[in-house]
Amino acid sequence: MKYSFMVLGMAFLLLLTACSNPSIGIMPTNTTVLVEQQGSSNLITQDFLFAIQTGEIPGAYIIHKFGANDAVGNTLEPITTSGFYRTPTNATSLEVVSDSINDVYGGSGAWRILIIGLNASGHEVQEEVLMNGTTPNPLTNTYLRVYRAYITESGTYATQTVGSHVGTLTIQETGGGQIWSQIGLPDGFPAGQTEIGAYTTPKGFNCFILKKVISVNAAKTADVYFFQRQNITDNNTPYSTMRLVEKHIGLSNTFEITSRSAITMFPELTDIGYLGHTHTGTAEVSVEFELVCLDNVMYPMQ
């Protein structure tokens, strides 16, 4: 996207008072400035990011997303454990199930799982669901997107040799339909949470990407593409396009971009995420990215 660093600067300058040695006007008076100026760019300090994480900045949050796909082939697919990031136009009824009878409330595996995503209007919702082994248990909410899930209770005190679930947990459409996401056993050890290299900005927030890391296992190469699609709740033509943000060709080992100023802004209700493919064989690919998100009423973009 063609947003300059000044776009992010405008968002954060809304937080500042007009004094020459500014402080955050919405924070306690003993809190120091968290945005530095350098030339024409406004840079985010680590103190500012720490203040968001500790809840000192109203209407702001940071999310760290990571995903992995252990068998990326020669056809483009999402960098997620399941190989899917579902993007329906209507909210969908879902259920969760394991392929092990031990992942059941009272058993030796997973007891409860927390699922986080967006509802029909695009607002973030979450719910905790009891596991019922190999019998699917329905979710209460319907979902446009699911971008994170993790186990919250287990029947086993996990160690370096024994994890918190026994089988692969699958979030799927009601009635055994399409798979949305999975909590798997990478390298044979329970992960305890999904690995989804994608995110959708919730209704009411603009998000700015600060950091990206892409890894491909040694001796393999992969092409990795970073896409966005805005206005996910607009179901009438003409639709907003799915558009390439960045393309990385022939990656091997680890590639990282870290910036003290925002690389790109993504407005509310925007899908963002990674797709990848190899030229020959399969490869293990993992991605990480970090976003700072601001309430778009408290901090409107000019």
Are residues 36 and 43 in contact, defined by beta-carbon separation less than 8 angstroms? yes
Tens-digit pLDDT profile for residues 10-59: 344 333 332 222 222 233 333 333 444 444 444 567 788 889 989 999 99
- Decide which of 166, 188, 210 is a domain's last residue: 188
DSSP reduced 3-state for 261: coil
> Closest Cα to residue 270, out of 220, 230, 215, 223?
230
Residue 17: count other Cβ atoms within 10 Å of its Cβ: 12
> Do residues 182 and 202 both lie within one domain?
no
As a whole number, mean pLDDT of residues 1-9 equals: 36
Mean per-residue pLDDT of the chain = 86
> Do residues 78 and 136 both lie within one domain?
no
In a domain, 286, yes or no: yes
Which residues lie closer than 8 Å to 148 by C-beta, 6 or more apart?
115, 116, 117, 193, 194, 196
In a domain, 105, yes or no: yes
Q: Which is more confident, 25 or 270?
A: 270
> Do residues 209 and 279 both lie within one domain?
yes
In a domain, 301, yes or no: no
> Do residues 32 and 175 both lie within one domain?
no
* 3-7, 204-208, 298-302: which is most confident: 204-208
Place of tokens 């050890």: 189
> Closest Cα to residue 189, out of 159, 153, 156?
159
Above 70 in pLDDT, residue 86?
A: yes
Above 60 in pLDDT, residue 68?
A: yes
In a domain, 302, yes or no: no
pLDDT at 184: 96
Q: Which is more confident, 175 or 53?
A: 175
> Do residues 69 and 19 both lie within one domain?
no
- pLDDT band per the 50, 70, 90 thresholds, residue 7: very low
> Do residues 19 and 73 both lie within one domain?
no
pLDDT at 171: 98
- Decide which of 188, 223, 254 is a domain's last residue: 188
Number of independent structural domains in the chain: 3
pLDDT at 140: 98
Quote the percentage of the chain above a pLDDT of 70. 83
pLDDT at 247: 93
> Do residues 73 and 203 both lie within one domain?
yes
CA 166 – CA 76 distance, rounded (Å) = 30
CA distance readout (Å), 150 to 116, 169, 292: 9, 10, 22
CA 172 – CA 193 distance, rounded (Å) = 15
> Do residues 52 and 67 both lie within one domain?
no
Q: Which of 17-26, 78-87, 211-220 is predicted with the least confidence, judged by mean pLDDT? A: 17-26
- Decide which of 158, 188, 218 is a domain's last residue: 188
Kindly state the helix (H) or strand (E) to which residue 48 belongs, with its residue range: helix 46-53
Domain of 115? 92-188
> Do residues 78 and 100 both lie within one domain?
no
Tens-digit pLDDT profile for residues 123-137: 999 999 999 999 999
> Do residues 70 and 213 both lie within one domain?
yes
pTM: 0.85
CATH number for the domain harbouring residue 258:
2.60.120.1330
The residue ranges of DSSP E strands in 99-144, in sequence order, are: 110-118, 124-130, 137-143
CA 123 – CA 205 distance, rounded (Å) = 10
Above 50 in pLDDT, residue 173?
A: yes
Q: Extract the tokens encoding 157.
A: 């005190």
- pLDDT band per the 50, 70, 90 thresholds, residue 8: very low
